[in-house]
Amino acid sequence: MRVLIVGATGPCGILLIQDSLVHGHDVVVYARSPSRLPPDIPANDRVTVIEGQLGDAETLKRALQGVDAVLSALGPPVSVKSPLYPSDTPIAKGYVVLVQAMKDVGCRRLIALGTTSIKDPSDRFSPTFFALVTGVMALATNAYRDVVQCGKIITESGLDWTVARVPVLNDQDDIEYIAGYVGDGHTKPVLTRKAFAKFCLDELEAKVWVQKLPLVTSPRIWPRH
């Protein structure tokens, strides 16, 4: 399979590239700043790197030629800089262009990073996730609005999409995950980035969550030792 990866230079994006290669896929990296990639990635003969902005429709369509699926690790940062995040939903605007470019070239499969700020009818009340989302709304309002708008654009796109909603991400090595919904009695408030990448590559092949919004989490709060 040939996959295009956006949000490729961040921690989750790099893991998506590495896991895609392990699964035997050819990879197109679409990045605004390819120099941020580890040197071994552009050196790989199964990787094509294309420099471009998410809003550049023509460059995106060129990158999408022959691509079977798009994996996206795009997402706004939630950090001390969050109050400075732009108010014009820049990532959502990029998704508008990406979705149209995918339709124009006939690429239907999109697996994208999301959060529980994007609601699903199957979600139930969870004090933990209520606190997490409320905190983001209060401290990172513009980032919250961008994530919610991204979810709206993707879920209304008509593509074969999956939004992998994640809780608090960490850099531990555990790759186990479970997929469900908020408040289902099983999902937890943490997930490793490696497990997020594994879910995306598993879902690319299994197609269990097409046009669904699974909450992907670690099966336990504390890693197994």
The answer to whether residue 79 scores a pLDDT higher than 80 is no
pLDDT at 77: 79
- Going from the N-terminus, what domains does the chain have, and what CATH number goes with each? 2-217 (3.40.50.720)
pLDDT band for 222, please (50, 70, 90 cuts): confident
pLDDT at 115: 98
The answer to whether residue 93 scores a pLDDT higher than 90 is yes
From 203-207, 208-212, 219-223, the region with the lowest mean pLDDT: 219-223
pLDDT band for 116, please (50, 70, 90 cuts): very high
pLDDT at 148: 98
Q: What is the mean pLDDT of residues 6-13?
A: 98
pLDDT band for 140, please (50, 70, 90 cuts): very high
Q: Is 13 exposed, middle or buried (0-12, 13-18, 19+ CB in 10 A)?
A: buried
Mean pLDDT of the residues in the chain: 96
pLDDT at 52: 97
pLDDT at 221: 85
Cα separation of 184 and 83, whole Å? 32
Pairing of strands 160-166, 69-72: unpaired
